[in-house]
């Protein structure tokens, strides 16, 4: 049984702005929950902060905070080198797919049995209302203007920091 957790009231997210975010993120998670093999998902802003989650028996908030931040950093780094929409990471027992939503990122955790073609199509269909909501995109930009600051957060070890500096993707 999957549980959808949406953004709570904060100084940045309240009133109609919050309602809009909740509606769009609910739509994405409801679509993803119907895909066999999906074990959870999270929605992050440009700085890797969690905006919502789809939780199953497999994951919890802490896990998705870490996954969300890591994929936000990957997307921020890689998209400076060339335009990027999707990242797919296949591990021995898990599959992680991340999709850029303009000023947000959705990260999906699946079993390796999940059909990636179905998942990609479901993401495409689910992402469209979110990406196309100009008001929501504006709100997201106002709360977290840029992806550059995601490198300043913890979670990057010395090697990762060095690589980012070397590639010119992070200021010394």
Element (H, E) at 59: none
Is residue 31 within 8 A of residue 21, CB to CB? The reply is no
**Cross-strand partners of 94:** 111
Strand residue runs (E) in 56-154: 86-90, 94-100, 104-111
User: x-or-dash pattern for another protein, window 119-138, by CB under 8 A?
Assistant: -xxx-xx--x----------
**Closer CB to another protein, residue 65 or residue 124?**
124
**Closer CB to another protein, residue 65 or residue 129?**
129
- Cα→Cα distances 84→78, 101, 122, Å: 7, 11, 18
| Secondary structure class of 28 (helix, strand, coil) | helix
**Closer CB to another protein, residue 59 or residue 160?**
59
Segment interacting with another protein (CB under 8 A) among 7-15, 118-126, 153-161, 164-172: 118-126
Q: Which of residues 32-61 bind another protein (CB under 8 A)?
A: 34, 36-37, 39
**Residues, the chain, total?**
172
**Closer CB to another protein, residue 93 or residue 166?**
93
**Is there binding between residue 3 and another protein (CB under 8 A)?**
no
Q: How far is the CB of 33 from another protein (least distance, A)?
A: 11
Residue 123: name the closest of 102, 141, 100 by CA: 100
Interacting residues with another protein (CB under 8 A): 34, 36-37, 39, 93, 111, 113-115, 117-118, 120-122, 124-125, 128
């Amino acid at each position: 049984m999957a549980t959808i957790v949406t953004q709570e009231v904060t100084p940045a997210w309240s009133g109609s702005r919050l309602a809009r975010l909740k509606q769009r993120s609910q739509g994405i998670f409801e679509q993803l929950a119907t895909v066999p093999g999906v074990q959870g998902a999270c929605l992050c802003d440009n700085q890797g902060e969690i905006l919502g989650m789809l939780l199953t028996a497999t994951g919890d908030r802490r896990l998705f905070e870490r996954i969300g931040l890591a994929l936000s950093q990957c997307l921020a780094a890689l998209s400076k080198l060339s335009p990027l929409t999707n990242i797919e990471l296949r591990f021995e027992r898990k599959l992680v797919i991340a999709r850029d939503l303009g000023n947000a990122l959705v990260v999906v955790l699946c079993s390796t049995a999940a059909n990636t073609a179905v998942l990609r199509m479901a993401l495409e269909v689910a992402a469209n209302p979110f990406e196309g909501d100009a008001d929501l995109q504006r709100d997201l930009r106002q709360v977290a203007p840029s992806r550059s600051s995601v490198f300043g957060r913890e979670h990057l070890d010395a090697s990762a920091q060095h690589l980012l500096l070397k590639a010119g993707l992070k200021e010394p």
